[in-house]
Amino acid sequence: MIENETAWRRLSWFALLPVGLRIGVRMIRESLPALLGAGAGAVLLAGFGLRELGLLALAALLLLVLYAMAWHRRFRYRLDSDAIRVRSGLFQRRELRVPWDRVRNVELRQAFYLRPMDRLGVVVETAGGQGEEVSIEALPRAVAEDIRRRASTSPTVLAQDEEPAAEPGPVRGQCLHAPGPGRVFLHGVASGQVWLLLAALGGLYGPMSGRINERVGDWLNRFDGGLAGELGLSWGVMLPAGLALILALLFLAAGVASTVRYHAYQLFLAPDRLRARHGLFETRERSLRLEKLQALSRVESAVGRLLGQCYLKGHQASAGDTVEGGESSSAMVIPGVARPASRDLMLAIDPCCRWPSHMQGVDPRFKAFWRPRIQLLLLVGLFFLMLRLGSEPWGVIVAASVPVVIIVLLTGLAVQLRHHRWRWAEDQGYLFISSGFLGRHDEAFAMHRVQHLRVKSNPFQRRAGLVELELWLADGPRRIPFIPREEAVSLANRVLYEVESRGPQFL
């Protein structure tokens, strides 16, 4: 046995660095958006010089080190036969007990500065927790793998096994997927992370808009003052080129971030679980029990369709979803999947997930419902926008004739494309749902996983005899809109039959 289970254990001093970094990152995440949003960041930058800012940073670093040392000193954990227990807190003492059979996932992490000591961080997640329920830093490998083994073994077996052996290797099983660096880079380009970067830059622009506008104004004056003539370029060329350059840099940054996060990615299939290992500066190992797999989906963005690139997501139950790197913490992301190989990979993960060749579409009155409402909303917005620009009402109508035609045509095309993407099918106790707009989202799940269903309709749907079927799994709802009432009731009855015959699967 590694240590006596009844004794509370302390963290080693190797944990001080990862604890300090984690606390610092959390404080920055929580305080930086509020600081920048209030405009305080611009005030600090304008009112202090480099010396003052350096002293403030040094004082903040010193306080962080002292806080991390105090937090590290008061942290304790204990491994019982039926649960893991943690005591933590500086000003308020907190004790948490997580039974082993309630653990959804145990993730092992190893930062590059812990590799020489062969120390790992352990993150324990539960289905009802908010992301990371328990986090223990810098444990010896034997202890970390023992925690993972206990979480995957029933308490009755643990009670008889007083001396559990650690697993000989970090990852075992059949390797299902190992994308190369190119595929991993394309995952960042195609997965939509570039829009998160753009939103973050937009948030920084508000409090620093004065300095940015001043600097951009200087560049524009230099360009008009002679640089444009020297290069022989006009604004009609430079403006699109500048926007294209910014977008290319954002896509490059998203690809580099994905390469760092999913470096040397490998997905293994063990008899009872999926296990993924990846990471450049911090190696992560995450598992997903197949018996707790709620749904399996394939996500293909608009850029991904052009590149022939998609990624898979294995969904788990979660009461609260945190987002890390633009991705949900309750789902296991399988990046860098080529479109032709995606269905085969889904079938290897779940042999019952055989995508049907024919799927039913939703009722065409989907278009009759959404097209006029979206068009009316956009036209009203266009009318008030042109009024705000100072045009007379009749002048607005004349000037808006071309934009109105464009809005009507584009809206009709968008609604038609959205209707075409909605598909669903039922086959051998599984439900398959496909949706999307410019991209595509395909999802499959066993019908006995459904915990709650609801048939609802609006006045338009009731007049047409249509409804929307809403199916709730442990990780959230799925819906099939605009299907005939009789068909929805029949499908709901078949779902209830599967649930009652096979038993509800809550977690």
| Distance in angstroms (rounded) separating the CA atoms of residues 336 and 334 | 7
| Distance in angstroms (rounded) separating the CA atoms of residues 17 and 228 | 52
Give the per-residue pLDDT at 156: 41
pLDDT mean over 180-189: 93
Residue 216: phi and psi, rounded to 5, are: -65, -35
Residue with the bigger pLDDT between 459 and 229: it is 459
Give the per-residue pLDDT at 160: 41
Residue with the bigger pLDDT between 105 and 169: it is 105
Does residue 363 register a pLDDT over 50? Answer: yes
Identify the DSSP state of 178. Answer: -
pLDDT mean over 282-303: 90
Give the per-residue pLDDT at 341: 92
Lowest mean pLDDT among 188-192, 329-333, 372-376, 488-492: 329-333
Does residue 193 register a pLDDT over 90? Answer: no
| Distance in angstroms (rounded) separating the CA atoms of residues 297 and 475 | 13
pLDDT mean over 330-335: 88
Contacts 24+ apart (CB under 8 A), 325-331: 325/193, 325/257, 325/261, 326/191, 326/192, 326/193, 326/196, 327/191, 329/125, 329/131, 329/132, 330/475, 331/475
Give the per-residue pLDDT at 240: 78
Does residue 247 register a pLDDT over 90? Answer: no
Does residue 46 register a pLDDT over 90? Answer: no
Cβ(267)–Cβ(274) below 8 Å? yes
Give the per-residue pLDDT at 503: 61
Q: Is 279 left (phi over 0), alpha (psi -120 to 50) or beta?
A: left
Give the per-residue pLDDT at 187: 94
pLDDT mean over 13-28: 86
Does residue 433 register a pLDDT over 90? Answer: yes
Residue 145: phi and psi, rounded to 5, are: -70, -25
- Distances in whole angstroms, Cα of residue 220 to Cα of each of 235, 237, 244, 433: 10, 14, 18, 51
Most confidently predicted of 61-75, 377-391, 394-408: 61-75
Cβ(355)–Cβ(346) below 8 Å? yes
Is residue 67 classed exposed, middle or buried when 0-12, 13-18 and 19+ CB atoms within 10 A define those classes?
Answer: middle
pLDDT mean over 463-473: 95
pLDDT mean over 476-483: 93
Lowest mean pLDDT among 9-13, 44-48, 371-375: 44-48
Q: Which residue blocks in 281-400 are alpha helix, DSSP H?
A: 302-307, 339-349, 365-388, 393-399
Q: In what order do the strands lie in the sheet with 94-99?
A: 9-10, 76-79, 83-88, 94-99
Residue 181: phi and psi, rounded to 5, are: -60, -35
pLDDT mean over 157-166: 41
Residue with the bigger pLDDT between 205 and 300: it is 300
Most confidently predicted of 42-56, 128-142, 180-194: 180-194
Nearest to 171 by CA among 107, 261, 262, 103: 107
Mean model confidence pLDDT for the chain? 81
Q: pLDDT category, 325, cuts 50, 70, 90?
A: very low
